[in-house]
């Protein structure tokens, strides 16, 4: 398949995001919080692994970590990773913005369900 024949697939699922609270803002905040908790746990688990392996091998001391100054390249990479993290956390807002731009809302979702049910 060549580059011109590839189909662009949206990165977000179509349809209305389920709601659990009367105010949809609460649902968005919970989604963001769950995303942050997931990211934090993955990072904490990886950090614990790195520290445990390094300690076993006698690679560095705790003070080495405290005194570390990243190079400009490393600082730039950290900024890129920080932005990716923020993108994942705020994904729910991006998804909603894309839904609005496509004209998707709860009513159009329910209409699609009704049409599908009639078939």
* 1: pLDDT strictly greater than 60: no
Burial class (CB in 10 A: 0-12, 13-18, 19+), 99: buried
Nearest to 12 by CA among 102, 85, 86, 82: 102
Structure tokens at 74: 């490393």
Contact 36, 89 (CB under 8 A): yes
Residues in the chain: 119
Q: What integer pLDDT is reported at residue 76 of this predicted model?
A: 96
In percent, how much of the chain has pLDDT > 70? 83
Q: What integer pLDDT is reported at residue 59 of this predicted model?
A: 87
Say which residues have a Cβ less than 8 Å from residue 104's Cβ, sequence separation at least 6.
Answer: 14, 15, 16
- This prediction has a pTM of 0.50
> In the chain, where are the structural domains located?
24-118
How does the average pLDDT of the chain come out, rounded?
Answer: 81
Q: How far is CA 86 from CA 2, 36, 72, 73, 82, in A?
A: 33, 9, 21, 20, 6
Q: What tens digit of pLDDT does each residue of 12-56 get?
A: 656 666 777 788 888 888 888 888 899 899 999 999 899 889 888
More confident residue, 73 or 108: 73
Confidence of residue 2 (pLDDT cuts 50, 70, 90): low
Q: What integer pLDDT is reported at residue 17 of this predicted model?
A: 66
């Amino acid at each position: 398949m060549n580059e011109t024949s590839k189909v662009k697939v949206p990165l977000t699922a179509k349809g209305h995001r389920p709601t659990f609270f009367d105010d949809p803002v609460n649902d968005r905040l919970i989604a963001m919080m769950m995303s942050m908790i997931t990211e934090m746990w993955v990072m904490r688990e990886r950090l614990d692994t790195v520290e445990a392996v390094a300690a076993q091998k006698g690679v560095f001391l705790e003070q080495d970590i405290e005194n570390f100054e990243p190079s400009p390249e490393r600082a730039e990479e950290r900024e890129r990773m920080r932005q990716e993290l923020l993108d994942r956390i705020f994904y729910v807002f991006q998804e909603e913005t894309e839904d609005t731009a496509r004209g998707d809302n709860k009513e159009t979702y329910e209409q699609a369900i009704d049409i599908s049910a009639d078939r």
